[in-house]
Structure 1
C-alpha cells in the first residue's frame, strides 16, 4: 500500500510540476517553445501562469490536495466538507494562491473567509450564485478533479467510499453535479489502482462508475447547484472510443485534443485523461508526458494522469532524478506523507 500511495503522490506532483512549463499553451506552441515534447522539468516561460518559478516547482494542481492531506493528517480527521474547507482556507494564505487560484477556487476561498457566520446553505448560495453567468465552466471546472485523488487513497480500494469522500471534498468549492461527477471518476480510478492485480481496463471502468454514481449522488442533494454542461460520463465514453479506434498514439492524442479538449471544464480534462491512460496503456511517465504536451490545462491533466497511473504502478515507475529534483524544489516530504497515510 505504501508503494502505491507514494506512487500516487509522486505522479500527481511530477505531473503538475512538469505541466507548469506548458500551461495555457497550445500543442503547437509547446513544440515551438521547446523544440521537442517536454519530458523533464522546465523553467516556465514568461507568458504562462507559473512564470518566475523554477523548474520542478508545483502549482495549484498538486498543492491544493497536498494541503488537504496535511490537514487530514494534522487533525487526525476523516474526509469531510469541513476538513476540505479548512485546508482550502490555509491554501488561500499560501504562496500558491495569487498566481494559481482559478476562477472557481479563488471565489470559493474568498467566500470561505467571509463565511464564518453563514449556514451551510447560505454559504452554498454564495458559491453557486452564477457569478460567471457567461461561462458556467468557471464553476464546473477541473479543480474538483485535481483534488480528488486523496479520496481514492483513503478509500483503501473501496470504490463507493472513494466516491463518498470525493463528494465531500468537491462540495467545499465545486458544488454542482458535473464537478462532482468528474471528481468521483478520478477518486474511483485511484481507489481501483490501489488493488494489487488490477488492469487499465479496470481503472477506466472504475472511472466510468465513479462519474455516473457521483452525478447520481449529487443530483439527490438539496444543497447543490445545477449548471448546464455535457455529461462527464458520456465524454469518458467518447474518449474510450477515440483511444480504442483512432490508431497510433500521436493520432489518438490529437483526436482527444480536437474532439474533447483539455480546457478548464471538468468535462474536458477528466475524459481526456482517461483517453490518455488507454492510449499510453497506463504507463505513468508516458501518461504524464501526454498530459504535458496536450496543451491548455496541462498541469491538471498531467497531475491527474500521474496520480492514477502512479498509484497503478507504484513509486518505482518514476525516475529517481525527477523525484529528487521535485523534493529539492518543493520540500514536500512525500515519503513521510505516504508512510503516515498508510498508517491510518
Structure 2
C-alpha cells in the first residue's frame, strides 16, 4: 500500500469510528447489546442517550472533527506542525458551534477559554479550576493526535515530538502526553511500508513510556494511574482465559473506557490486540465497548486504519457515507498530507 492509501485508511477509519460510536456513547457494555439488540456494526442516528443527539447517521463529533481541523491547519502552514498552528486549529474548531457547544470536553473548553483571553488565569480566583487545563488528564489528548503520526511515517521519535507539541496546547501534563505519544507512535509505525499490527502496538507501548519520561522533564507531572501500567493490565486481560466477548467485557469493566486518558488509551490497546487480523473489527469492538465509545473508536481507528482493506465493500460503504454526511473529501486530504510528507522528506535529504 502507498503512503497515501495508508493515510486514507487512518483518516477514514478514525472518522467511521467516531460517527459509529456516537450512537452508543454513554451506554454500558451490556446496555448497548440490550438497547440495539446486539452489537452495532453500521452507522446509526444517535438517540436520546447520546451526546450526539441531533446528529444524522454518519456525522462525526468533536473527536474526528478536531483531527480534520488540525490536518487542514497544518496544510495551510505548508506541512509544518508547531504550537501556533495547533492553537489556530483548536480556536478555528471552537468557532464552529455545532462542534464546540455540543461536544467540547472540559479540558479543551478550559484551554480554549485561556487562549481566547490570555489574562483569564490572572483574573481567576486562587484555586479556580475553570482554566486549569494543564492538570486534566483526559482522553482528548489522544483522540486528535492522528496528524502527529501521519506527518512522521515510520519515524516514531518524530511522531512523539509532534504529539508533545499538539498535546501541550490543551493537555499539558504527564499522563495526557504519555497517552497521546502512545497513539502517535503506533500510528507512525503503522505507516511504514511493510508494517504489522504487532509492530504498531510495540511502537505505541514504547511511545507511552517515552512520552511519560519526556513529559516529566518538560511538562507537569500529575497523579493518577499510569498509561503504561494500564496497557500492561489490558494485555493481561487479552492473554487470559475466555472468549473474545468475555475479554472485551473485562476491558470495559476493569481497564475502563471513559474520559480519563489512562482508561481510553489502554482500552484501545487491548481492543487492537484482540483484533490483529481485522482493523474494521477492531473499530466495531471499540464502538461496542461502552461509555466513551466515539473517542475509543476514533483512537482505535487512528492506530490501525493503515491496515484496513480499502477495497472492502463494507469499509467503502461506511467511508462514502461519512464523507457525504460531513462534506469531507478525505481522499483529497490524504493526498495532500502525503504530498507534504514527501516534500519535507526531500527537503531533509
| Common fold by TM > 0.5 | yes
Instruction: Give the match for residue 82 of structure 2.
Output: 80
With over 3 angstroms needed to count, the CA separation of the structure-2 counterparts of 1:139 and 1:130, relative to structure 1, is farther
Q: Indicate how the Cα distance of structure 1 residues 92 and 282 shifts in structure 2: closer, same or farther if over 3 A, else same.
A: farther
Query: Distance between the aligned counterparts of 1:165 and 1:137, measured in 2?
Result: 18
Change in 2 beyond 3 A, CA 1:338/1:253: same
Change (3 A) 1:233 1:316: farther
Q: Distance in 1 between matches of 2:305 and 2:60?
A: 17
Q: 1:125-274 alignment to 2 at 5 Å? A: 131=129, 139-221=136-218, 224-274=219-269
CA apart distance, 1:88? 0.2
Give distance in 1, aligned partners of 2:155 and 2:335. 20
Please state whether the residue corresponding to 2:220 is helix, strand or coil.
coil
Deviations 1:278-330 (A, max 9, x none): 11125111111111111111001111111211113363456211111111100
Q: Which residue of 1 aligns with 2:4?
A: 2
TM-score, normalised to structure 2, is 0.91
Q: Is 1:336 the equivalent of 2:325? A: no
For the 8 Å contact 2:62–2:103, the answer to whether it is kept is yes
Q: How much has 1:246 moved relative to structure 2? A: 3.4
Q: CA offsets, 1:121-176, max 9 Å, x none?
A: x79x98xx77179x999810000000111100100210000000000000010000
Aligned to 2:310: 315
**Runs (5+) with no aligned partner, structure 1:** none
Name the structure 1 match of 2:347. Answer: none
Q: Aligned partners of 1:228, 1:301: CA distance in 2, in Å?
A: 22
Contact 2:134/2:173, CA 8 A, preserved across alignment: no
Moved more, 280-289 or 17-26: 280-289
User: Aligned-residue CA RMSD in angstroms?
Assistant: 2.3
Shift of residue 197, structure 1, vs aligned partner: 2.1
Instruction: Give the CA deviation at 1:75.
Output: 2.2
Contact 1:138 1:264 in 2 (8 A): no
Q: Distance in 2 between matches of 1:247 and 1:331?
A: 42
* CA distance in 2: counterparts of 1:47 and 1:275, whole angstroms: 26
TM-score, normalised to structure 1's length?
0.92
In the superposition, relative to structure 1, how do residues 308 and 314 fare at CA in structure 2: closer, same or farther (>3 Å)?
farther
Of the three residues 100, 104, 115, the one matched with 1:101 is 104
8 Å CA contact 1:3–1:314 kept in 2: the answer is no
Q: Residues 19-77 of structure 1, C-alpha deviation per residue, up to 9 Å, x if partnerless?
A: 00011111222122211110000110123110011011000110011100000011214
Alpha-carbon distance in structure 1 between the residues aligned to 2:319 and 2:310:
9
User: 1:289: which partner in 2?
Assistant: 284
Say if 2:134 and 2:220, in contact at 8 Å, map to a contact too.
Answer: no
Segments of 5+ residues of structure 2 without an aligned counterpart are 341-349
Size of the aligned set, in residue pairs, is 335
SS at match of 2:239: helix
The separation in 2 between residues aligned to 1:202 and 1:48, in whole angstroms, is: 35
Q: Which runs of 4+ in 1 moved over 4 A?
A: 135-138
Shift in alpha-carbon separation, 1:130–1:191, aligned structure 2, 3 A: farther
- Provide the C-alpha distance between the structure 2 equivalents of 1:130 and 1:197, rounded to a whole number of angstroms: 50
Q: Name the CA distance, whole Å, in 2 between partners of 1:219 and 1:314.
A: 39
Q: Distance in 2 between matches of 1:197 and 1:330?
A: 32
The 1:178/1:322 distance shift into structure 2, 3 A limit, reads: same
1:59 corresponding residue in structure 2: 61
